[in-house]
Amino acid sequence: MIERIQSSSRVRGRPFEKGNGGRRPGSRNRATLAAEALLKGEEVELTRKAIELAKAGDTQMLKFLLDRILPKERSVQVDLPKVDSCFDAVKTMEVVLAAAGTGQIAPSEGAALAGLVEAYARIMNVAELEERLDHFENELRGLKP
């Protein structure tokens, strides 16, 4: 027979006693404070050394520096048709799909654009439905004595 081992009485997500919220927001570790104190005033020299190492062929340092310099996302240029109705969103999606299919933009960029178009079409649809509902409500109010 297998015995079940009971885990500690702590419930996941509630590591502190009630009323004890833990560390205050903005507080830092002693190790972080010590490292900051040791590095204070050395920022320029350390940055120069990192650049020298990268230029000398240290690929890890080069990757480290480039990850901080280069933007995480790029701006894409796609000529999208104007979307005046939900039906125009279909044409716009075709353009996005063609751009992703031909390699003009990456598939992830196409998915992001498609998400924007979809959200905009949904908002337009809701706005149109609200407008129609307001129109019918106003007509009904006008008919009542």
SS (H, E, C) the chain: CCCCCCCCCCECCECCCCCCCCCCCCCCCHHHHHHHHHHCCCHHHHHHHHHHHHHCCCHHHHHHHHHHHCCCCCCCCCCCCCCCCHHHHHHHHHHHHHHHHCCCCCHHHHHHHHHHHHHHHHHHHHHHHHHHHHHHHHHHHHHCC
| pLDDT the model gives residue 101 | 92
Do the beta carbons of residue 78 and residue 105 sit within 8 Å?
A: yes
What are the sequence ranges of the domains in the chain? 33-69, 86-143
| Higher per-residue confidence, 93 vs 143 | 93
- As given in the structure block, the two tokens for residue 74 are 């790029």
Residue 8 scores a pLDDT above 70 = no
What is the biggest distance separating any 2 CA atoms in the chain, rounded to whole angstroms?
Answer: 88
Residue 22 scores a pLDDT above 80 = no
Q: What is the mean pLDDT of residues 99-107?
A: 91
Do the beta carbons of residue 109 and residue 76 sit within 8 Å?
A: yes
Read off the pLDDT of residues 107-137 as tens digits, 9 standing for 90 and up. 989 999 999 999 999 999 999 999 999 999 9
Read off the pLDDT of residues 55-96 as tens digits, 9 standing for 90 and up. 999 999 999 988 888 777 777 888 999 888 888 899 999 999
CA distance 114 to 105: 12
Please list the residues that pair with 11 across neighbouring strands: 14
- As given in the structure block, the two tokens for residue 40 are 């204070």
The pTM assigned to this predicted structure is 0.49
Residue 144 scores a pLDDT above 70 = no
| pLDDT the model gives residue 86 | 80
| pLDDT the model gives residue 83 | 86
Q: What is the mean pLDDT of residues 27-32?
A: 88
